[in-house]
Structure 1
Amino acid sequence: MKKIFLTTLILITSFILVGCKKEVPNVNNSECNNIFELSQEFKDSSSSMLYCDFNWTSDYFDTVINLRIFIDPQVDSKEIETKVEETIKYYHEISDKYNPYDGVTNIYTMNQNPTDTHTVDDELINIIELSLYHEENTSNLFSISLGPVLEIWHDYREACIPDPFEYNSWSGICEKPSQDELNVTVPYMDSTNITIDDVNKTVTMTENMKLDLGAVSKGYMSQKLKEYLDSLDISGYLLNAGTSIVLVGGQYGLRDSGVFNVVATDPTYSLKIGSPNTSKSWYAWLEIMDGDVIITSGDYDRFYMAGEEYLHHIIDPNTLQPERNLRAVTLVTDDAALGDIYSTAIFLMTVEEGIAFVNLIPNLEAIWYGMDGTISYSDNLESEYLRTLNE
């Protein structure tokens, strides 16, 4: 659900790393560069630290995933790249609701025949069980059983085609589904009708059910990458999972001031040619530390216009509509999977409800961009993470 096309979180300062010079050949690091090449100030540096950039296109999770790692030349960057891509590919395939894959029982397989008993991987069961547990914790504002209604909204959104060269110009059929059409799906969106057998690793649903892991799978995958990267003897990393999820970490605190700097995109800003809202691209500058995860949900990418009505992609399970209580919310947490879940639910709350929710959860802070441009914070966001607002 959170496939953000605009740069929701933009890295505005790079890692600043210093390493000891070692006479070691850069074996399996042909795609990496010396750290001093990052900045003019490192031109005379004798550091042998390397940085390596890896990019995966929209083949996975319908987004672009970027990873930058900072390593000693003795570290095999190719091995890391291979392991990371294998992880991304695996979680993409098991959670994909659009495509089948040879030898994989995934969400697509289950949705095609929901009443069958499907034997699935442990990790798919883990994602589903984690999701079901947090549906109740989020007052069901997050739900993996919304497949039938999300499919309707997806089809209507895809029929309305944005003009890539003219802001707020559309072609095709730009209509909104009727409430009656949406209401037909209600009986098929009851998560209590998902039956899981942990012993035999099977999942069964009732007729016409369709699962959608779009609000959890990318975060779950990102958390698995975080755990893997944290286990390595590397100096630092920055993972940008589709720009709506950013993770930072590493074994050595060698950056200037020990912080990473990211900014949250102003949701009124547009990169489209002709947009009238290009005065500023970001509204909040955050300083985060090793182990932090930044996750954003917003209304400003996957949307379309039906007449004068602005219709985004995050659907409220209670009304079956894309409610607009705010423009964006950005979370700072230490768990990408939970952050992905929470950001969807919090986006559908009012700002006041969201603040109360966040303040009750340890290791979770948030900043909101309201419909009128008002900026709000959870209890500790401003003091712990906010450097400045772009006013």
Structure 2
Amino acid sequence: MRKRRLIWFVLGALLLGFVGVSLYFRRPVEYRSDQFLMDTLVSIRVFGTNEEALRKAVGEAYAEMHRIADLTDNFPAEGTTANRESDVNRINEMAGVKPVRVDQDVFTMLELAKSYHDLADGAFDVTIGPVMRLWGFGGNSPHVPRAADIMASLVFVDNARLVLNRKEQTAFLGKSGMALDLGAIAKGYATEKALQALKRNGIKKALIDAGGNIRVLGTNAGGEAWRIGIKNPLKSGDILAVLSLKDSAAVTSGDYYRYFESGGRRYNHILNPLTGYPAAENLSVTVVTKDAGLADILSTAFFVLNAEKVLEVVEKLEGVDVFLVTVDRRILYSPGLKGRIELRAGADFHNDQSR
């Protein structure tokens, strides 16, 4: 009897040991990778139990981002031929000549861009390429153009003359001299494609940070909502607010991301398609929704519009919220963010949240 009990004791101990070893080797693992891509530092953090599988998933996510970057690049490096055959460059070269067959993802981006042009009262227009080039954004020498040149370039900004043929999967700019610039959608769209690659690889928890474009999958490692800092547009390094985020995107457009200074004045890279000048209504706009590509479009459009118009548009959109800081330092946000936003603003700002 004692011998039988001893055998069961030994077997039980072995089983517990096996379970302990199994749990040990299944401890949560975090894998992080950073790359400079699409003119910004992109960081991808993923969580799982197998580092090799995590590494593979992140590699495929970056491959998707590189693919979208190659398709949409509008500013090839000087002295190189890199990306000169991008879909965007081919469309621009054939402006006023003939339609160009494009990749399905480029076609999808162009359809999205056209659909949100009217909703934003023309504040978002991907045919703004000639004006962007005139200002030198995307190159090494941004500068303030002559007013007459800005007016002349606006003749080529015309969303209605971007013609898409879904059956043929072609895009056509109807006037010679027109040019696309997908800078206000490509990074967000690429971020969303990267997240899809992670999901295909079985990733359940992840965070992608693409320079103001944030996309999270699931919760953080502790099972709680991700806490995302929104920068103070007036003080570098300070946090203005903290946003709780699950399975969503948060994309911020601000006058502090890309800009140049001339004559003691700051000129940001987000141009108003109606005036040809940098947008001047807001300091920072953060859009929260399920899709990073859509959030990228809306954050750019909303940065151009005044606060009241932004909140009016958001009321028409399901599953979209916004947090904005106006040029006169008012803080406003849509009702859907109540309970999800923690303000850390000081005396520099006025919380105008009476809505």
Q: Could you say which TM-score interval applies, normalised by the shorter chain?
A: 0.7 to 0.9
What is the deviation of 1:93? Answer: 0.5
What is the deviation of 1:266? Answer: 0.3
Whichever residue aligns with residue 106 of structure 1, its letter is D
Q: Does 1:121 align with 2:76?
A: no
Matching residue within 92, 97, 109 for 1:111: 92
Matching residue within 342, 348, 351 for 1:387: 342
What is the aligned length?
322
- Which residue pairs with 2:33 in the alignment? 54
Alignment of 1:150-165 (within 5 A): 150-154=132-136, 158-159=140-141
Matching residue within 62, 69, 75 for 1:92: 69
Q: Residue 145 of structure 1: SS of its match in structure 2?
A: helix
- Which residue pairs with 1:190 in the alignment? 158
- Which residue pairs with 2:45 in the alignment? 68
What is the deviation of 1:257? Answer: 6.1
**1:22–1:48: 8 Å Cα contact kept in structure 2?**
no
Whichever residue aligns with residue 342 of structure 2, its letter is R
The percent identity for this pair of structures is 22
The C-alpha deviation readout for 1:80-115, integer Å capped at 9, x for no partner, is: 122112101110000001235579542122223322
Matching residue within 203, 210, 218 for 1:234: 203
- Which residue pairs with 1:363 in the alignment? 319
- Structure possessing the higher radius of gyration over alpha carbons: 2
CA change 1:380–1:338 in 2 (3 A) is same
**2:74–2:86: 8 Å Cα contact kept in structure 1?**
no
CA change 1:382–1:157 in 2 (3 A) is farther
Alignment of 1:1-391 (within 5 A): 23=22, 48-57=27-36, 60-73=37-50, 76-99=53-76, 101=82, 104-114=85-95, 115-154=97-136, 158-159=140-141, 176-205=144-173, 206-242=175-211, 244-250=212-218, 255-256=221-222, 258-270=224-236, 281-289=238-246, 291-383=247-339, 385-391=340-346
CA change 1:180–1:373 in 2 (3 A) is same
What is the deviation of 1:245? Answer: 0.7
**2:229–2:242: 8 Å Cα contact kept in structure 1?**
yes
Question: 2 CA distance for matches of 1:105 and 1:240?
Answer: 24
What is the deviation of 1:188? Answer: 1.4
**1:105–1:119: 8 Å Cα contact kept in structure 2?**
no
- Structure number with the higher helix fraction is 2
CA change 1:75–1:107 in 2 (3 A) is same
Question: 2 CA distance for matches of 1:364 and 1:348?
Answer: 17
Question: 2 CA distance for matches of 1:74 and 1:107?
Answer: 37
**1:21–1:48: 8 Å Cα contact kept in structure 2?**
no
What is the deviation of 1:22? Answer: 5.7
Question: 1 CA distance for matches of 2:336 and 2:105?
Answer: 34
Whichever residue aligns with residue 199 of structure 1, its letter is K
Q: Which runs of 5+ in 2 are unaligned?
A: 1-18, 347-355
What is the deviation of 1:155? Answer: 5.7
CA change 1:258–1:78 in 2 (3 A) is closer
What is the deviation of 1:158? Answer: 4.1
TM-score, with structure 1 as normaliser: 0.76
**1:359–1:379: 8 Å Cα contact kept in structure 2?**
no
The C-alpha deviation readout for 1:320-358, integer Å capped at 9, x for no partner, is: 111311210112111111111000111111112212222
What is the deviation of 1:157? Answer: 8.2
Question: 2 CA distance for matches of 1:347 and 1:339?
Answer: 12
Q: CA RMSD in A?
A: 2.5
Question: 2 CA distance for matches of 1:221 and 1:345?
Answer: 19
Whichever residue aligns with residue 195 of structure 1, its letter is V
The C-alpha deviation readout for 1:221-246, integer Å capped at 9, x for no partner, is: 1122223323443341111112x111
Choose 91-100 or 68-77, whichever is displaced more: 68-77
User: Larger relative contact order (C-alpha < 8 A, sep ≥ 6)?
Assistant: 1
What is the deviation of 1:183? Answer: 1.0
Q: Residue 81 of structure 1: SS of its match in structure 2?
A: helix
